[in-house]
Amino acid sequence: MTPRTKEKFEEIRESKRRKIIDSAIECFATKGYHAVSISELAAHAGVSKGLMYNYFSSKDELLKTIFNETMDQMLELFDPDSKGLNEKNDLLMYLERYYHHLKSNLILWKMYMAIFSQPAVQQILQKEILEVSQKPLEIIGNYFKKEGFKHPEVEVAFLSTLFSGVLTEYISDPDHYPLEQIMKRILSIYS
């Protein structure tokens, strides 16, 4: 009997890795980082405790991995073609994208909030957070400058504020928050 091929092994690894990550995202979203134990994560993913450490060297490491993957998605969301925002329409589409992403990735954003608003977790991810949050803000800032806003940096902060607010409110009660109408209300400010 021949041993499994390298490809087969990598296949197994990758699919299990995904399973663990997706499962962990759900758990973290539901209960928060500290409130979920490795045992729970393992059980929820349908693997043994020990196997978790075959894929991630620690609980923190798993968190960082999830964070990085999530951040990559977010970056893509906020600037998919890396061209920046050039006209008003781009900004509107920007808002559109945010709206759709929020709606179709509720769990991901829930996890984002559940995890990253915890001070203890922020300490774990401090470095990563700083690195990632800079770029999207810059892109938006450049747009406002170009458009001749009087206080572009304040306008950026204001938009961030709106994003944060929408996120917070929608996440905390997705069934009742009038997401679409709120997005329209925001659009009305910039139209």
Asked if 58 is part of the footprint of a copy of itself (rule: CB under 8 A), the reply reads: no
Reference 140, options 167, 119, 114, 158; nearest CA is: 158
33 CB contacts (<8 Å, ≥6 apart)? 63, 114, 115, 118, 120, 121
Sign of the alpha-carbon torsion through 46, 47, 49, 52: negative
- Tell me which stretch binds a copy of itself (CB under 8 A): 10-18, 96-104, 119-127, 140-148: 119-127
In angstroms, give the least distance from the CB of 6 to DNA. 7
47 CB contacts (<8 Å, ≥6 apart)? 16, 19, 20
Q: Are 38 and 59 in contact (CB under 8 A)?
A: yes
Q: Which does 51 bind (CB under 5 to 8 A by kind): DNA, a copy of itself, none?
A: DNA
Give the DSSP letter of residue 98.
Answer: H
Q: Which does 68 bind (CB under 5 to 8 A by kind): DNA, a copy of itself, none?
A: none
Choice from 8, 31, 100, 135 touching a copy of itself (CB under 8 A): 31
Choice from 30, 65, 68, 105 touching a copy of itself (CB under 8 A): 30
Q: What is the contact surface with a copy of itself in residues (CB under 8 A)? A: 29-32, 34-35, 110, 113-114, 117-122, 151, 153-155, 157-158, 160-166, 168-169, 172, 177-178, 181-182, 185, 189
